[in-house]
Amino acid sequence: MGRKGLLLVFSGPSGAGKGTICRALLNEIPSLRLSVSATTRPSRSGEIEGKHYFFLKRDVFKKMIEDGQLLEWAEVYGNYYGTPLQYVQKTLAGGNDIILEIDIQGALQVKEKFPEAVLIFIVPPSKSDLKLRLLSRGADAEGEVARRLACVASEMNFAWRYDYIIINDVIDRAVSNAAAIIRAEKSKPGYLEDFLRNFSDEKTSDR
């Protein structure tokens, strides 16, 4: 019916559970697609090129910025992250929904360019819970964990700029809340604009 795709942006402190929620939504909602980000940080154990990230050299990433090939980009913890623009445009034009799991700086850039984007902020139930999550996953050194925790307070200040906040205390409930947000957004007149216009243009006759 000519419906456009929905652009969903998930952000939040490192360790809040953004990736877990996004993966669950991708399994649950067939129309969802995941945008793979580009980054200059080294790959972690088990990460696959083109699936988890596009791992690029800094000079290659900077060239993409210069050529306007990124929807958004930011420098986070000393590394560059960005979203390739072409895939996002193609996915939305095809009527599919797309998830961007990106940092706060990038999310606000997306909102400026695409006001219709839906921004969802994922937070842990407490700072102490977040620390336990970061330490238990073993992906970062203790010093890196401390640095990420030090950024939480400033990151939380940006939660007011988002459309929704999900407290990830129980993962199943957090996923259910995210799915409910998507269903609600797809019921808004703005999302159904083309459908409503076609419906109103149909010729009717009185009998």
Q: Could you tell me the residue ranges of all domains in the chain?
A: 7-35+96-201
- pLDDT band at residue 161 under the 50/70/90 scheme: very high
- pLDDT band at residue 207 under the 50/70/90 scheme: very low
Containing 109, the helix (H) or strand (E) segment is helix 104-113
Averaged over 188-206, what is the pLDDT?
A: 70
Q: Is 19 annotated as a binding residue?
A: yes
Q: Is 18 annotated as a binding residue?
A: yes
What's phi and psi for 73, nearest 5 deg? -160, 160
In this structure, are residues 80 and 74 in contact, taking their beta carbons and an 8 Å threshold? yes
Strands 79-84 and 37-39 come out as antiparallel
Q: Is 17 annotated as a binding residue?
A: yes
Whole-structure pTM value? 0.80
CATH fold label, 7-35+96-201: Rossmann fold (3.40.50)
What pLDDT, on the 0 to 100 scale, is given for residue 134?
Answer: 65
Q: Is 154 annotated as a binding residue?
A: no
Q: Is 78 annotated as a binding residue?
A: no
